[in-house]
């Protein structure tokens, strides 16, 4: 008996219709993808900051 809480209400997934279970699966898939994308954004932001810092340091050396 798996339970899930949606909009503050607890539901037994075994009592859900097939369509409701499909939609639940779709929501879970989207949640996983959003988490993956957040992680990718963090990685790209970190790389961008590193490149920007390297550029700034390079430009400072070129001015000297």
pTM for this one? 0.77
For residue 1, is pLDDT > 90?
no
**CA–CA distances in Å: residue 55 to residues 43, 61, 64:** 18, 10, 14
Strands (DSSP E) found in 1-64: 3-6, 9-12
pLDDT at 64: 85
What sign does the dihedral 15-16-22-24 (CA atoms) show?
negative
Q: What is the pLDDT of residues 16-52, one digit of tens each?
A: 999 999 999 999 999 999 999 999 999 999 999 999 9
């Amino acid at each position: 008996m798996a339970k899930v809480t949606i909009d503050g209400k607890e539901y037994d997934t075994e009592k859900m219709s097939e369509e409701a279970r499909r939609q639940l699966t779709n929501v879970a898939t989207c949640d996983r993808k959003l988490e993956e994308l957040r992680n990718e954004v963090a990685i790209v932001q970190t790389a961008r900051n590193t490149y920007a810092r390297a550029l700034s340091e390079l430009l400072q050396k070129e001015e000297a």
